[in-house]
Structure 1
């Protein structure tokens, strides 16, 4: 680790501390993620090796934060630590939206920017899904932004399986439920790529509204937020829903029409959002299909 100069701690990720650092030789800024990976006598657990090599392969996409290398260090107790070295980006989508919302002349994100960011997000998600990888925790804080280039990149990808995701993150803040798909909230054990598309829909709406679509503070409240807007799901629009593990009898709400909460979106944007927010995961649009949606027709795709 001597070749990096630690500049500041930029956060505590779910898997350990994150530092902004500089590569002393090249001057390149990097993010060092210290993982709390307990290695045994045999070295790094094979699951972690698989995750890391998967991450390295996936990070060849422009829309996924690049894993530059992995450094293996022995700490003072002789316990081996892994540092993941990522490219460094200085802002994320949550902070980016906040700059628009909190500005004195508070204004909406330009529709062309929302369109561009959503397209890049769908590109990144489609790339993961084509390799059989679910992100499972997409949220604005996990989407890093290169403001100069107007590029959005997915971070915190898929370490969940080898590094075991705690329910509370390292800093004891409760992991946010706002972007979690209803099938996950209802305890479904078999979930698919559709869980990520639900999150993408929530993020799309949040870029347009500049505030979260479903800000629940418990799993139950989270479901009520969703049901109040989209209607309480039924066996008709979501076959099998009432046999999911955590299903209860909920108040019966009628669907409100999503356009009421995102008046900023025009017809094509609204249509795409509705397709991302279908209750039945089988009905939700895929990332690959989303890229061909008419909402993106006016976008110059050659730049991507």
Structure 2
């Protein structure tokens, strides 16, 4: 969602800087090199906080100069390791339409198609990674770069067309270019399917937790939290809410680089008072106001999810593993305290809250549940889980 909630950003910056100053951004047992500002070296996939396309410049008309692969790559904003089709360079001269005038969308689209983008035959399916209601994800390989890719194949129903989640994901990811957000390389539309081609990352955070016996080194916890916050900061400043943060949607490569993925539930939010669906965020990572039916929310919905994920990385277990909305709220109130009219104005008139008739729990000390966190870590976790209270009085 796109957000004009500027009052939130000072808190966002405080959380971000608290993590930045304490992180030596090199993953334990893995090789990732990053600068003090969180930007990795040039050779890394996280080479800059915001990924910029190469500058599209008009080449000087030098009759004796031949078109090079680098010229094509710069003009079309292609990756440096692209392999152009045989005979492709010979088609062009410096006075060809591709170089003699500003590049139109149509000409760029035609040029990319000639190279192989937008075509299923450009990619080779390798292994099936997973399947959902609307889509199947495959591990694949690009014939253009020989790099591994993730192919998200979305089945199209003739009556309904593309699912709204796929349309959201495409429209948002086309504009989100950041080292901590998964890159959308290509889009392939056929009569039966819509295939999204993403960069390939080895595993998600849930798999990472499983592989290390649910005990992540605390240095890596800080590194992953920092990258998660950096990616979210980029989204929020562009007024985009992810709305479905969970370990399965955080991808990690073998260099320890973490990237936000699966923007199918994300939204652009431009008007703070506009209402949205409360059927967002997997139950375990859903904040209490959403559980109680609120459809008016802002960036805080993601920050609550960050707090739950931070706890899970630190302890190896989910913070609020409820199987129903009632049980989820019970877990939340048992740890953080049952809200009252003083702490959450208007809560006693909320029909959902009244119907559950929760006991009057007092807030428990987070130190008792997070033995591996120091005082700063517990304070940070507390702030992430309390930020939602800013919205309580608005229900």
Question: TM-score range with shorter-chain normalisation?
Answer: 0.7 to 0.9
SS in 2 for 1:74: coil
Tell which structure's C-alpha radius of gyration is larger.
Answer: 2
Map residues 61-140 of structure 1 onto 2, 5 A cutoff: 61-75=178-192, 81-101=193-213, 108-140=215-247
SS in 2 for 1:198: helix
**For 1:63-84, what per-residue CA distance to the aligned partner results, in whole angstroms no more than 9, with x for missing partners?**
0111111111123xxxxx2111
Would the aligned equivalents of 1:142 and 1:154 in 2 still touch at CA under 8 Å? yes
Output the TM-score relative to the length of structure 2.
0.61
Would the aligned equivalents of 2:126 and 2:141 in 1 still touch at CA under 8 Å? yes
Structure 1 gaps, min length 5: 76-80, 103-107, 169-174, 285-304
In the comparison of the two structures, how many residue pairs are matched? 262
SS in 2 for 1:2: helix
Structure 1 pair 125/39, CA: closer, same or farther in 2 (3 Å)?
farther
Partner of 1:225: 331
CA distance in 1, matches of 2:350, 2:298: 15
Partner of 2:68: none
Q: Which has the higher strand share?
A: 1
Map residues 18-57 of structure 1 onto 2, 5 A cutoff: 18-38=137-157, 51-57=169-175
CA distance in 2, matches of 1:159, 1:255: 32
Of the three residues 229, 243, 251, the one matched with 2:359 is: 251
CA distance in 1, matches of 2:225, 2:158: 39
SS in 2 for 1:9: strand
Structure 1 pair 48/179, CA: closer, same or farther in 2 (3 Å)?
closer
CA distance in 2, matches of 1:254, 1:226: 11
Map residues 152-301 of structure 1 onto 2, 5 A cutoff: 152-159=258-265, 176-244=282-350, 246-248=352-354, 249-278=357-386, 280-282=388-390
CA distance in 1, matches of 2:284, 2:167: 31
Structure 2 gaps, min length 5: 1-119, 269-276
How far apart are 1:15 and its partner, in Å? 3.9
Output the TM-score relative to the length of structure 1.
0.78
How far apart are 1:159 and its partner, in Å? 4.3
CA distance in 2, matches of 1:14, 1:87: 22
Structure 1 pair 49/240, CA: closer, same or farther in 2 (3 Å)?
same
Structure 1 pair 201/24, CA: closer, same or farther in 2 (3 Å)?
same
* Alignment root-mean-square deviation, CA: 2.8
Structure 1 pair 246/267, CA: closer, same or farther in 2 (3 Å)?
same
CA distance in 2, matches of 1:89, 1:95: 12
Would the aligned equivalents of 2:168 and 2:267 in 1 still touch at CA under 8 Å? no
Partner of 1:290: none
Structure 1 pair 238/158, CA: closer, same or farther in 2 (3 Å)?
farther
CA distance in 1, matches of 2:208, 2:131: 20
